[in-house]
Chains A and B, each alone.
Chain A
């Protein structure tokens, strides 16, 4: 297990409970990060706003019922506090068209499902330029 240098707090927003659990366990056990989860966009916005301190990063699914990832991201950008938090999309949409659409959103990066649970934390760190 990696030694925890900096305590990070990550918010995972995904409508699939199993994926939330696996991703949370993966980040907790491999990087020792603290994980908060939310099951949809609206819940995610509330969780991000109420979390003190704010999460260091948000890992968010794209396809969610009611409010999808891109919409949630846009709403987050309208809140000055939440707009500061880097967002990574975690998506099973891997086609070129989708990728170009995500790139235009202004998110900090895109990670693809199915992710490798042993390297997910390293991928997050790399995308966000975290040294630890």
Chain B
């Protein structure tokens, strides 16, 4: 009996012990959960504060945009007012309506008139570009025919071409129905006339400038092909930047404003399209003699391409739009010190087919880029780096410089994300392959990334020699 009792007591004590252990564990778990809850609460609080800060920043930016608008409007008005008197006076004098002036004076009047016209064009172009790049230029979308627009552009430019003894020709390889797409016809006409005017300006006399249209179910393209002296490979991209010419004297000699191609690019981005320049490829000259006389002129093809699925006119940072460009591939390294922005950009890139790697600082970018460059396949090499301009610690500019100074990372194209426009940062522009001004839309970012990847022909593979060199310098 006492044995049974002691067993019973033993079992009872064991149960008590087990219960005690269980109770202790439970208590610990509860404590742990409470701590987790506290941490979650803190995180939530942080997210709320982040969201508030983000909202403040957006409001600040909208105030800034408004102030910028006001400033541009005022400057434009103040410049136009004196120009009105100058243009009026010169125009009336040189017209001869008020009596004849002698030949030398007439020549001086012509010089003054021509340059006044140029100044007016420049002010108009600056204003145009500013409005488009800030996303405040209205886009009036309509169904239009790319053939009709190209025809109109060719007709408009015929007088200029005749004066320069250039022949314009228009060829279409598109089926009639494939010509139709949605766009702002005035803007597209502006792109085509700008490209034609460029081609005419930089072509030697007695050559042909050819416009070729192609279209299929996914996309439409127009090529403007000239027989000019061609554009050096390292300038094929930069000519789309403001005030960039192949030779510094080009603009003044040819009467351009240096903004035509930048405007074309802005319009194409607004339409979710692409624009690029390339040397002529296998272009059959229709006239044998012409080809011979201009052997030394490779010429340039300017291509514009519209994707039928593109969404248009989106330029707000918080618009999550459908992709405006074809799906991408490759590994993109995204660097921004703001984890929120990193997440948004990564999400956008993921959705469009890219693999993404994130970095929060310039130092991290350099380390990751080297690590990836030196890894043997099948690990993917970095196709491009998206680099925020303002970074704490190592600045965006310093990071870019270090990336470009190291043989291992120099070939990786870098796209700078910045609140500044490229013209404000000429040094950075020289080193970077792409530029996206904040606030940007998803379409704009993807279009620029697509353009940079296209012109850089994919990720760059390192040779063993390069790798060794990079290890030494890294």
Tell me the A residues contacting B by CB distance below 8 Å: 1, 16, 18-19, 22-23, 25-26, 29-30, 63, 92-98, 113-118
Contacts and interface: CB of A to CB of B under 8 A. Distances in A.
Contacts of B137: 96
A93 B77 contact: yes
Interface of B: 69, 72-73, 76-77, 80-81, 83-89, 91-92, 95, 97-98, 116, 120, 124, 127, 131, 136-138
A62 to B, nearest CB: 9
A114 B120 contact: yes
A116 B80 contact: no
Contacts of A26: 88, 91-92
20 contacts: A1-B97, A16-B85, A22-B85, A25-B98, A29-B97, A29-B98, A92-B80, A93-B76, A93-B77, A94-B124, A94-B127, A95-B72, A95-B76, A96-B131, A98-B73, A113-B84, A114-B87, A114-B116, A117-B87, A117-B88
B84 A115 contact: yes
A102 B73 CA distance: 15
Nearest to B83: A114
Given A29-B98, A96-B137, A115-B87, 9 more contacts: A29-B97, A30-B97, A63-B77, A93-B73, A94-B76, A95-B72, A96-B131, A114-B83, A117-B89
Kindly list the 9 A-B residue pairs having the minimum CB-CB distance in the complex, ordered from nearest.
A22-B88, A92-B80, A18-B85, A117-B91, A114-B84, A113-B84, A114-B87, A117-B88, A114-B83
Contacts of B73: 93, 95, 97-98
B77 A19 contact: no
A64 to B, nearest CB: 12
Q: Which among B69, B73, B83, B127 has the highest number of chain A CB atoms within 10 Å?
A: B73
Contacts of B84: 16, 19, 22, 92, 113-115
A124 to B, nearest CB: 14
Summarize B's interface: helix, strand, loop or mixed: helix
Nearest to B124: A94
Contacts of B88: 19, 22-23, 25-26, 114-115, 117
Nearest to A20: B85
B81 A92 contact: yes
Nearest to B85: A18
Nearest to A92: B80
B190 to A, nearest CB: 15
Contacts of B86: 114
Q: Which among B69, B84, B91, B127 has the highest number of chain A CB atoms within 10 Å?
A: B84
A23 B89 CA distance: 9
A15 B88 CA distance: 16
A93 B72 CA distance: 10
Contacts of A95: 69, 72-73, 76, 127, 131
Given A1-B97, A92-B81, A22 B127 contact: no
Contact of B91 (A19, A97, A113, A116): A116
Contacts of A96: 131, 136-138
A23 B91 CA distance: 11
Nearest to B87: A114
A87 B92 CA distance: 24
A115 B117 CA distance: 11
